[in-house]
Amino acid sequence: MTNIAILGFGVVGGGVADVIATNNETIARKTGEHINIKYILDLREFPDHPLGGRVVHDMNIILSDPEVTVVAEMMGGAHPAYDYTRAALEAGKHVVTSNKEVVATFGAELLRIAKEHHVRYLFEASVGGGIPVIRPMSSCLAANELSEVDGILNGTTNYILTQMIRAGKSFEEALAEAQEKGYAERNPAADVEGTDACRKICILAALAFGRLYAPSSVHTEGITAVTAQNVADAEALGGVIKLIGRAGRVHADDPDSDVFLLVSPHVIMHENPLSCVDDVFNAILVRGNAVGDVMFYGRGAGNLPTASAVVADIIDILTHKDAEIFVPDWESAASAPADHTALPYAFLCRVQTDAPYDEVTTAVRHIYPDAEFLTVADAFDGTAAFVTPTTTEADLRAALAPIGTLTSALRVMP
Ligand code: HSE
């Protein structure tokens, strides 16, 4: 029997207890032993829960108990989660986590500490909820030089966008539903402002490129500025709006070139498989020089899908007890990623102007002869929508400034 401690008995922590209770026999058949939740660390009491008697409020009880070999951290937030993780690793305990904030901020240091103490720090649940993506990227794609990772990485925002687009619900209504279903962060600003997706793309970029960028150094836009007009424009173009995290080499075929990272709403054209990823589902596309494109798809949030990944990490530890596992070194990036405004994109624009329609189209076509207008003359009300050919954001803003106010410029992903 392996004794574990759960830190944080919220949505995911409770899900981990449920998965272990439901599947402990199956787990024992696969690993040769049962998992026993010896302690649950939380500020609250859970008198009505079958494991209510295992609740403790002092991390030192867990740290000083040699019977506890695995700590599952699902507290959320940077502190004290980071401090407890570090203390557990230093006490020679393996740590598994769903906490993307801790992995994205302190992952390089915590992996080093784990290595020094011959224990493991695993975080499959930190990206994509229940989707197996961290381990496949580290193991199954290890033969590749990776050039790009793109993904729909936040279940809450994808749920909101889908409900707004498909069911005509309001932003507030859709967010309240995502909260009820246990998808949203305690403070949903982290979801809707893109912070959560940013942490996840930083983790994926570290796996792909061996360098952990500070989330604060990554250009991050959420979905709060997306309007009904943007949604209609995307539809008229033949696409749909999704919040995308992107990381890649600036020159795809040069593994020494700089790395870019970016989180922003994109127009995804219907031909792209990411356009069909709806509701709480996430998808991550990884591009390797041997494998080509690989896509991972599944439920990106929710108690049981996320718990599925946490428990899988515990099982990995149980089944590799005596093995010396290779632990990757993540370098902490000393500088910011490459300038996102220099990335090549076509943009779906809306320009507000006092000029008549003909003048606007002529001026835009003077700069971009191939610009495709979505607004027709009869519907012109002082704002015009059009798509540019491939350019950069820096050039776009400079070129359109004399024509009018650029009220939106959405990146288009073919
Ligand atoms: N709030 C996160 C999401 C939870 O909606 O994707 C899973 O990381």
Question: Using one digit for the tens of pLDDT, what is the confidence trace for 43-59?
Answer: 999 999 999 999 999 99
Whether residue 324 is predicted with pLDDT greater than 80 in this model: the reply is no
Q: Which atom number of ligand 1 is nearest to the Cα of residue 156?
A: 5
Pocket test for ligand 1, best of 154, 201, 303, 310 (most atoms within 8 A of CB): 154
Q: For ligand 1, atom 7, which residue shows the shortest CA distance?
A: 301
Find how far residue 413's CA is from the centre of its chain: 18
pLDDT of residue 299: 97
Span 57-112, pLDDT tens digits: 999 999 999 999 999 999 999 999 999 999 999 999 999 999 999 999 999 999 99
What pLDDT, on the 0 to 100 scale, is given for residue 321? 87
Whose Cα sits closest to atom 4 in ligand 1? 301
Residue 49: Cβ within 10 Å count: 14
Report in angstroms the alpha-carbon separations of 42 from 75, 76, 135, 237: 8, 12, 29, 50
pLDDT of 325 higher than 90: no
pLDDT reading at 327 higher than 90: no
Assign residue 210 a region (left: φ > 0; alpha: ψ between -120 and 50; beta: otherwise): left
Torsion angle of C-alpha atoms 54, 60, 63, 67, degrees rounded to 10 = -40
Question: Rounded mean pLDDT of 338-352?
Answer: 97
Separation between Cα atoms, residue 163 and residue 173, nearest integer Å: 9
Residue 328 has what pLDDT? 82
Choose which residue among 156, 201, 244 to substitute to test ligand 1 binding: the one with the highest number of ligand atoms within 8 A of its C-beta. 156
Residue 396, both tokens: 């776009």
- pLDDT, one tens digit per residue, over 254-269 is 999 999 999 999 999 9
Q: What is the mean pLDDT of the chain?
A: 96
Report pTM: 0.97
- Ligand 1, residues 191, 244, 278, 310: which to mutate, most atoms within 8 A of Cβ? 191
pLDDT band at residue 210 using 50, 70 and 90 as cut-offs: very high
Give CB contacts under 8 A, 24+ apart, made by 32-37: 32/318, 33/1, 33/2, 33/318, 34/1, 34/2, 35/1, 35/2, 35/4, 35/311, 35/314, 35/318, 36/1, 36/2, 36/3, 36/4, 37/4, 37/5, 37/6
| Cross-strand partners of 292 | 288
Q: Which atom of ligand 1 is the closest one to the Cα of 301?
A: 7
Mean pLDDT of the region 215-242:
96
Catalytic residues: 200
pLDDT of residue 379: 86
Model confidence at 414: pLDDT above 90? no
- Ligand 1, closest atom to CA 184? 1
The residues lining ligand 1, judged by C-beta closer than 6 Å to any ligand atom, are 129, 154-156, 183-185, 191, 196, 300-301
Work out which ligand 1 atom sits closest to the CA atom of 190.
Answer: 1
Kindly report whether the peptide bond that precedes residue 66 is cis, defined as omega within 30 degrees of 0: no
Q: Decide: helix, strand or coil at residue 305.
A: helix
